[in-house]
Amino acid sequence: MSNTIPLFASDASLGRSILTSNESESEINENSPVSIWTIAKVHNIDPVYVVETSFVNFISHYKNAQKEKKHLIFGIKFRVVSDAKQKSEESLLTESKIVVFMKNSAGYKDLVRLYSEFHGKEENFYYTGRGDWATLQKFWTDNLLLAIDFYDGFLASNLLQYEHKAIPEFGSIKPYFFVESHELPFDSLIYDATKQYCDATQDKMLNVHSIYYYRDSDIISYCTFRAIANRSSFEKPNLNGFSSDKFSFESYESTK
Amino acid sequence: MGFLQINSRLRAMNPLNNELLRFKTEQKFLIYDTETCHLNTVAKNYPWQVGFIVCTLNEILESHCRYIYWDDMNNKISEQAKKVTHFDYAKYAKEAKPQREVLDFVESYLYDNQYVIAGHNTHAFDSYILSLWRRENGLKRDYSYLPRAIDTNSLAKMVKLGVKEAPRKDWMTLMFRFSNFSQKGMKTNLTALGKEYGIGPDLINYDNLHDATEDVKLNYYVFKQLINRIDI
């Protein structure tokens, strides 16, 4: 895969990544948590794409980017449903995930505003913070960029989950569609659905590689971490489709 | 119902429609199962027994069971797995064959396009275990057999939910779609299905289930019941 964008997540994305947003070190220390900024420094990554589920580590990412003189491209992953005020199991069947990036510094305020709408309002909360397509359109600005998540976007969710009916309402927003490959058996199914959709709508696909740990072999630590977050165990993680050790930086490097 | 749907239903109802598996008496199936150290599908899990049969709808043509040798198996397998699978280390140590030899043997069938592959819970578990086994041997994951594979757990859920058909071109999507689906009260484990479909103790020793060989045999009878309940 050429021109693949590495998408880092840090421990601010709870239960998702074991990378940190700590200040960079001169080399990767195999015996301690690895920072995105050490990876960026050691492997000359610039710009650095970071996608989180919260703003918790944004300041440290921003400061590290300035210190390293690298360009930070920051996005937040959101859950979107048809109607966020409808708190029912049916509403969960309309859920899918999107990523909203800030395109410029003005995009920071716009993304914070959108985040507050999705996560700061009790009436939208159902197990977790979320929003709906109408809210996304209402708070949308030209300083933001919308991408559709590969594994949890509306196409994948409708394809691989029974009775799932996530129907996006983009309005005038032009979305990009993430395409990933992590040696999972259903990668090709999601890719085909995405390609078919984008061929019909003329929307653009973006090759990305989500990164949650440094080496493939870190899967042991990562799996333990995910199991703890899932209140399960390493021997019975209960994580659907969790069968790839390719969400690593090492795996991204091998795609180049 | 549109013309195409009516046409599709009529074709399915036609007893001469030899596209449906239930009418393919010459079709060979490979039904398999693995027993493993625990339930992790991404790391540190090793299949210690594999059982499979080659069959048609009329008869079992071949039956194979292999214990798979891994160093230090007694410490690799979880206590719970030992209990559930009635793991007998003495028997294992005596009968286990080198793991690479067994892998090559299994894959000589698995990647043979003449077989339709079937297994219970394969799309949520066993197919990943086969991949882990390949990775242990420095081989890449290879799911190329999945487009001709049926997960009977997924199929059973489809039957219970009233899904009418599973066209071959959609097998992979459908099997994954239903593999992780669960509904309160819906029982689709092999034992429950065997009893529901009246597969009696004359055919299956229910006390020996969770032994790969016995599981595969029960899966064969359940599979034959399922394909009569959905157009596949």
Q: Whole-angstrom Cα distance, residue B75 to residue B83?
A: 14
CB pairs under 8 A between A and B: 61
Give the fold, CATH level 3, of B26-226. Nucleotidyltransferase; domain 5 (3.30.420)
Q: Establish if B11 touches chain A: CB-CB under 8 angstroms.
A: no
Give the nearest chain A residue to B145 (CA atoms): A185
CB contact under 8 A, B177 and A240: no
Q: Are A20 and A10 in contact (CB under 8 A)?
A: yes
Choose from B40, B79, B85 for mutation: most chain A CBs within 10 A: B40
CB contact under 8 A, B40 and A235: yes
Cα dihedral value B153, B154, B160, B166, nearest 10: -130
Q: Whole-angstrom Cα distance, residue A214 to residue A197?
A: 33
Q: Establish if A89 touches chain B: CB-CB under 8 angstroms.
A: no
pLDDT for res A171: 97
Across A122-134, average pLDDT? 92
- When CB atoms are compared, the residue of B39, B42, B178 closest to A244 is B42
Cβ contacts of A244 on chain B, cutoff 8 Å: 42
Cβ contacts of A159 on chain B, cutoff 8 Å: 173, 177
Confidence of residue A1 (pLDDT cuts 50, 70, 90): very low
Q: Establish if A120 touches chain B: CB-CB under 8 angstroms.
A: no
Cα distances (Å, whole numbers) of residue B204 to B93, B102, B190: 26, 26, 11
Across A154-175, average pLDDT? 97
Cβ contacts of A237 on chain B, cutoff 8 Å: 39-42
* B96 Cα to chain A: minimum distance (Å): 23
pLDDT for res B164: 95
CB contact under 8 A, B78 and A235: yes
CB contact under 8 A, B39 and A223: no
Spatial CA neighbour of A136 closest among A150, A151, A154, A161: A154
Across A236-244, average pLDDT? 92
* B43 Cα to chain A: minimum distance (Å): 7
- What pairing do the DSSP bridges indicate for beta strands B115-119 and B149-151? parallel
pLDDT for res B117: 98
pLDDT for res A57: 96
Look at residue B170 and tell me whether its pLDDT is greater than 80. yes
Across A236-245, average pLDDT? 93
Spatial CA neighbour of A39 closest among A223, A209, A244: A209
Cβ contacts of B172 on chain A, cutoff 8 Å: 185-186, 189
Look at residue B13 and tell me whether its pLDDT is greater than 70. no
Q: What are the structure tokens assigned to B152, written together? A: 């009977």
Look at residue B92 and tell me whether its pLDDT is greater than 70. yes
pLDDT averaged over chain B? 91
What's the CATH code of the domain at A53? 3.20.20.140
Cβ contacts of A162 on chain B, cutoff 8 Å: 161, 177-178, 181
Q: What is the CA radius of gyration of chain A?
A: 18
Q: What domain count does chain A have?
A: 1
- Give the predicted TM-score (pTM) of the model: 0.93
Phi, psi of A42 (to 5 degrees): -65, -35
Confidence of residue A7 (pLDDT cuts 50, 70, 90): very high
Look at residue B15 and tell me whether its pLDDT is greater than 80. no
Look at residue B44 and tell me whether its pLDDT is greater than 80. yes
* A205 Cα to chain B: minimum distance (Å): 21
**Amino acid letter at B101?**
E
pLDDT for res A213: 98
Look at residue B12 and tell me whether its pLDDT is greater than 80. no
Q: Which tens digits make up the pLDDT trace of A186-208?
A: 999 999 999 999 999 999 999 99
Cβ contacts of A240 on chain B, cutoff 8 Å: 124, 180
CB contact under 8 A, A185 and B146: yes
DSSP class per residue in B111-156: T-TTEEEEESSIIIIIHHHHHHHHHHTTPPP--TTGGGEEEHHHHH
- What pairing do the DSSP bridges indicate for beta strands A96-102 and A131-132? unpaired
Cβ contacts of B173 on chain A, cutoff 8 Å: 159-160, 189
Strand, coil or helix: A79: strand
Q: Which tens digits make up the pLDDT trace of B61-87?
A: 999 999 999 999 988 998 888 888 888
CB contact under 8 A, B178 and A241: no
Q: In what order do the strands lie in the sheet with B115-119?
A: B97-98, B60-69, B47-55, B28-36, B115-119, B149-151
pLDDT for res B2: 54
Domain residue ranges of chain B, discontinuous segments joined by +: 26-226
Look at residue B189 and tell me whether its pLDDT is greater than 70. yes
Q: Establish if A230 touches chain B: CB-CB under 8 angstroms.
A: no
Give the range of the structural domain holding residue A221, as residue numbers without chain letter: 5-255
Q: What are the structure tokens assigned to B41, written together? A: 């599908």
Cβ contacts of B177 on chain A, cutoff 8 Å: 159-162
So what's the ipTM on this one?
Answer: 0.94
- What pairing do the DSSP bridges indicate for beta strands A176-179 and A204-211? parallel
CB contact under 8 A, A159 and B124: no
Strand, coil or helix: B187: coil
Q: Which tens digits make up the pLDDT trace of B191-224?
A: 999 999 999 888 888 777 767 788 899 999 999 9
CB contact under 8 A, A234 and B40: yes
